């Protein structure tokens, strides 16, 4: 299955996906970022689709880029923009996301900080099918990560990411192998 990765940040999950040998056809980013360098280092094309105020229009441009590269399965990896209906019209059930908490706890962009603020002793990461409702789609895989005394958001997020780097590629592989649709 041809995979399209959406990234916008440090790209460490993209790196893990590529290191696992998954067939990434295109990396789409919304700004120049390390993810494009990671893609280039692996000989994978990347495209910058600039954000525009109209999120529906922005989503259409993302879908155009994915379809242009024959993408069949979309993996969101730290793509910090909410996508609109046009991507679900084309790829419904075939978009995965990784989120740094044990969903349904701590949805949203500040999951690690929110877990720390709540004082939980265990958090984790969740790989789920993305739906129009953010961080709410069917859960495909989940793994717990302990919160340790003295953790701040950076140390806790690093511990969660270390798990994501293993769990996300193996989950994508399994999901694609099952036909990639829920």
Nearest residue (CB) to ligand GRF, 64 versus 157: 157
Among residues 42, 68, 69, 99, which one is catalytic?
99
**DSSP assignment string, 110-168:** THHHHHHHHT-SEEEEEEEE--SSTT-SPEEEEEEEE--TT--HHHHHHHHHHHHHHHH
Nearest residue (CB) to ligand GRF, 55 versus 110: 110
Q: Where are the beta strands (DSSP E) in 18-76?
A: 24-29, 46-48, 73-76
Take residue 182 and report the two structure tokens written for it.
């829920």
Q: How far is the CB of 33 from ligand GRF (least distance, A)?
A: 8
99 assigned to active site: yes
Binding site for ligand GRF (CB under 6 A): 7, 9-14, 77-78, 98-100, 161, 164
Nearest residue (CB) to ligand GRF, 68 versus 132: 132
Take residue 92 and report the two structure tokens written for it.
């419904």
Residue of closest CB approach to ligand GRF: 78
Please list the active-site residues: 99
């Amino acid at each position: 299955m041809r995979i399209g990765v959406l990234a916008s940040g440090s790209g460490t999950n993209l790196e893990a996906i590529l290191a696992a040998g998954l067939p990434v056809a295109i990396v789409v980013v919304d700004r120049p970022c390390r993810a494009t360098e990671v893609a280039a280092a692996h000989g994978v094309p990347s495209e910058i689709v600039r954000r525009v105020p109209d999120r529906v229009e922005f989503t259409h441009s993302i879908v155009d880029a994915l379809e242009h590269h024959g993408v069949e399965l979309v993996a969101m990896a730290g793509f910090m923009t909410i996508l609109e209906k046009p991507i679900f019209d084309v790829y419904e059930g075939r978009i995965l996301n990784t989120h740094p908490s044990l969903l349904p706890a701590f949805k949203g962009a500040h999951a690690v900080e929110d877990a720390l603020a709540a004082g939980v002793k265990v958090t984790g990461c969740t790989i789920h099918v993305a739906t129009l409702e953010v961080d709410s789609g069917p859960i495909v895989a989940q793994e717990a990560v302990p919160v340790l005394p003295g953790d701040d958001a950076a140390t806790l997020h690093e511990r969660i990411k270390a798990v994501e780097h293993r769990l996300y590629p193996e989950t994508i592989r399994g999901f694609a192998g099952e036909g990639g649709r829920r």
